[in-house]
Structure 1
Amino acid sequence: MSSVLFASVVRVGDGLPLSASTDYEHDRELHDTRKHLKALSKKLPHFPDRCTFASGPYNVNFTSALGVCYMMVCLSSYPSVLAFCFLDELQKEFLVTYDSKRVAAAVRPYSFIQFDVVIQRTKHRYNSPRSLSTKINMADMQTELKLRPPYRLTPDDLQAANGFSPSRSSAKYKGIAPSQTLEPVTLPGAVSCVLSVLCGGLNLLRGVHAIESVLQCFLFAYFSVWRNVKSFLALGLVCVCNMYLFQLRNVWQILFHVAVAACMTLHTHLRRPLGKAPDYNV
């Protein structure tokens, strides 16, 4: 029996299947596992980008990237590093073959069913691990799985994916998937929130004071310049007036001296004695 049993490519946004392997094995448990895979594909935006789900003797592994999810069903004894290497190889082939615009424009299910040729070829290689020639990629994947292991989904997560409320409050996922519920605010969180508000208020006040200081400096500079201009104009006016008055004073002094000289001359002539009258009797 093969180790890699089924693989599919699904669009993350709406769970639309884009391509899948066409072979089918008549097994009750495998059929149920494929139902679980279909249910999980409907809620891919709520899961981390790398997950695994145990369903009886089988495992469902999937990884998401650039709006596309690559899913597979394998035996539970199949090594995880090989399973995710298989998904990584499918991802690289799919990204080379199809661009994001074609993926976003797909409307009908299995629009890229021709990609099944690549899936079948990759399945055949990974069903015989001894013939694999990707040991370097396997080493890289093993290191990556140690640093960031896949999140293990539980039946509660599957019930939540099917629309039922799980028994526990919520699953805390690891990775980059968004959290679905808000945790209650703790005391340190409330204190940090209050301090953040206070710091924001202080920064706002500092900004107002800074604007006020800038306006004051601008007004001071403006009035200083205007005051200097007025002083210059007043001083110039005083100088002009002083020059005019000085010239006018000089004119009056000249007229005054002329008048004084005339008066003195007239006074001298008036005080001169009269001459002796001639004698006509001689």
Structure 2
Amino acid sequence: MSMIFFASVIRVRDGLPLSASTDHEQNVSVQETKKYLKALSRKLEQLPDRCTLKRGPHSVNFISSLGVSYMMLCSESYPNVLAFCFLDELQKEFITTYEMSRINTAVRPYSFIEFDSFIQKTKQRYNNPRSLSTRMNLADMQTEIRLRPPYQVSLQELGLENGHRKNPEYKGIVPHQRLEPLTLTGIVSFLLSLLCAGLNLIRGVHAIESLLQNDGEDYSCVIAFFLGTAACVYQCYLFAYSTSWRNMKSFLAFGLICLCNMYLHELRHLWQLLFHVTVGAFSTLQIRLRQPESKSPDYNV
């Protein structure tokens, strides 16, 4: 029997499920095929905007647009033109119902679960093609599919072999997690850290020039300036990327900034010292506040 079993809406950049149909299909084969949607959701950024995956008696089709992917699971005999018209309707309704800012900043899975009501109504219509009145749209989609057929995804592209995920090689390094969205104060702290790094670098270069002109001068101040530069740049790196022991590293970088400015107290005014230390403390706080995005256990579809 040709029909649509399941549909979902996924954010492309990280595979976060935004909405999905809530019906519970008891067919074991359908439940097994649903697992392929998880593998696909992890690869959306690497795949074309219109794809099909054939798996036994079922097909998985999806389209992606504006950073959102619309996926559906149907029987293999379900007409392609109806499948992609169904996905096209989901896409048009979703992008007109929800603002992109909400979609891009969503953190919790299924933040738009209320969209399921539209998915269900549309699914019922497309499971009874005689009730469809969009004959013109069907003809347009048929022409589009003929001119640009959907890309056929293979199991190997998903890292699957004979329907099972291949064991990834152990690399000893945990991949970077996505950090929470940038804030205005975070951007300000990043720019101020870069400014402090630039000031330390300029003073360090001038200190080297002074050493070359006056033999016997103490070169330790040059080291202090360059260590301060490195600490500020490293704080910028910690703010931008997620690494292991990130908070501890930020405190160590701040400690190095304080030590360097204590050593250079004779070469700087009090206000200059306060500025560098305050920026270091401010950047450390922003690193602490910008944590990796949390993922719920049901993060994938």
Structure 2 length normalisation: TM-score? 0.53
Cα deviation, residue 163, structure 1: 6.5
After superposition, what is the alpha-carbon deviation per residue over 1:11-40, rounded to whole angstroms, capped at 9, x for unaligned? 000000000000011122111110001110
**1:29 corresponding residue in structure 2:** 29
Cα deviation, residue 3, structure 1: 0.3
Cα distance between partner residues in 2 of 1:18 and 1:141: 26
Cα distance between partner residues in 2 of 1:164 and 1:144: 38
**1:53 corresponding residue in structure 2:** 53
Partner SS state of residue 22, structure 2: coil
In the alignment, structure 1 residue 98 sits paired with structure 2 residue 98:
yes
**2:65 corresponding residue in structure 1:** 65
In the alignment, structure 1 residue 145 sits paired with structure 2 residue 145:
yes
**1:235 corresponding residue in structure 2:** none
1:162-177 equivalence runs, <5 A: none
Query: Do the aligned partners of residues 106 and 127 (structure 1) sit closer, same or farther apart at CA in structure 2, a change above 3 Å counting?
Result: same
**1:39 corresponding residue in structure 2:** 39
CA-atom RMSD in angstroms:
1.6
**1:75 corresponding residue in structure 2:** 75
Q: State how many pairs are aligned.
A: 165
Cα distance between partner residues in 1 of 2:148 and 2:12: 21
Cα distance between partner residues in 1 of 2:147 and 2:167: 33
**2:114 corresponding residue in structure 1:** 114
Cα distance between partner residues in 1 of 2:166 and 2:102: 30
Cα deviation, residue 72, structure 1: 0.1
Partner SS state of residue 19, structure 1: strand
Partner SS state of residue 18, structure 2: strand
Matched to 2:14, the amino acid is: D
Cα distance between partner residues in 2 of 1:155 and 1:97: 34
- Structure 1 ranges of 4+ moved more than 4 A: 160-165
Matched to 1:118, the amino acid is: F
Cα distance between partner residues in 2 of 1:146 and 1:106: 36
Cα distance between partner residues in 1 of 2:63 and 2:167: 24
Partner SS state of residue 159, structure 2: helix
Matched to 1:57, the amino acid is: P
Query: Do the aligned partners of residues 44 and 160 (structure 1) sit closer, same or farther apart at CA in structure 2, a change above 3 Å counting?
Result: farther
Q: Conserved in 1, the CA contact under 8 Å of 2:12 and 2:44?
A: yes
Partner SS state of residue 156, structure 2: helix
Cα deviation, residue 2, structure 1: 6.5
Q: Conserved in 1, the CA contact under 8 Å of 2:51 and 2:62?
A: yes
**1:86 corresponding residue in structure 2:** 86
Partner SS state of residue 48, structure 2: coil
Cα distance between partner residues in 2 of 1:83 and 1:143: 14
Query: Do the aligned partners of residues 100 and 48 (structure 1) sit closer, same or farther apart at CA in structure 2, a change above 3 Å counting?
Result: same
Partner SS state of residue 63, structure 1: strand
Cα deviation, residue 158, structure 1: 2.3
After superposition, what is the alpha-carbon deviation per residue over 1:208-256, rounded to whole angstroms, capped at 9, x for unaligned? xxxxxxxxxxxxxxxxxxxxxxxxxxxxxxxxxxxxxxxxxxxxxxxxx
Structure 1 length normalisation: TM-score? 0.56
Query: Do the aligned partners of residues 54 and 160 (structure 1) sit closer, same or farther apart at CA in structure 2, a change above 3 Å counting?
Result: same
After superposition, what is the alpha-carbon deviation per residue over 1:102-126, rounded to whole angstroms, capped at 9, x for unaligned? 0001000000000000000000100
Q: Conserved in 1, the CA contact under 8 Å of 2:43 and 2:158?
A: no
Matched to 2:148, the amino acid is: R
Partner SS state of residue 72, structure 2: strand
Deviates more, 1:153-162 or 1:87-96: 153-162
After superposition, what is the alpha-carbon deviation per residue over 1:138-188, rounded to whole angstroms, capped at 9, x for unaligned? 0010011011100011121222695768xxxxxxxxxxxxxxxxxxxxxxx
1:258-269 equivalence runs, <5 A: none
After superposition, what is the alpha-carbon deviation per residue over 1:187-220, rounded to whole angstroms, capped at 9, x for unaligned? xxxxxxxxxxxxxxxxxxxxxxxxxxxxxxxxxx
**1:154 corresponding residue in structure 2:** 154
**1:241 corresponding residue in structure 2:** none
